[in-house]
Amino acid sequence: MDWLRALWFAAAAVAIAAVVAVIIGLLFGEAGLAVGAVTVTGETPTNATANCDDAVVRQVDVTVTVDRAGLSRSNPQWWKAGVSVRVSVFRSAKARQVMLPPGESRTLTVPFTRVRESSSAPSERVEAVVQVVSGNVEVGSETATAAFDPVKAGRDC
């Protein structure tokens, strides 16, 4: 019976240590999250010199890299951290969620498409606003710009 009591005591000590570690990680660790890079590429698949369609299509791909530091004193959280990436372009917004373990990074690409009901379009610059959130804490927020060349309407369609 002494070995059973010792085993129960050891299991209780491990459980208490795990709970204390989780509490310390939640209180003092910030998960080591950072926004690595944000790139925005704009593309107009419509014929830019002689568009004979009744619409101009503009596409934007927003690529976001989220990094997480490895396990350390400043990042004692050993579990995966949930990260939400919100991107706004063309007056619309999309969100992507990802789980990130310590010491890894993830690259997310969020596509946007806008159709302009016209056979021509001026040159324009479009801002993409990226917000990275973990729980209720904002990890980072960045703005990037995509540039579009003008589209000319076709004459002999």
What pLDDT, in 10s, does the model give residues 73-103?
A: 777 777 888 899 999 998 899 999 999 898 8
The total domain count for the chain is 2
- 93 shares a domain with 25: no
Nearest to 61 by CA among 34, 87, 36, 84: 87
Instruction: Give yes or no: residues 57 and 102 share one domain.
Output: yes
Indicate if 135 and 66 belong to the same structural domain.
yes
Helix (H, G, I), strand (E, B) or coil at 115: strand
pLDDT of residue 18: 80
6-49 confidence digits (pLDDT tens): 889 889 998 898 888 777 666 655 678 888 899 999 988 877 67
Q: What is the CATH number of the domain that holds 99?
A: 2.60.40.10
As a whole number, the mean pLDDT across the chain is 85
Q: Is the pLDDT of residue 152 over 60?
A: yes
Q: Compare 127 and 120 and report the one with higher pLDDT.
A: 127
- 66 and 87 both lie in a single domain: yes
Domain limits for position 5:
1-30
**Residue 66: its pLDDT value, please?**
92
Give which of 120, 115, 144, 118 is closest to 130, Cα–Cα.
144
Cα–Cα distance for residue pair 19/25, rounded to 1 Å: 10
Report the pLDDT value the prediction gives residue 71, as an integer from 0 to 100.
78
Same domain flag for 16 and 42 = no
Residue 157, domain member (yes or no): no
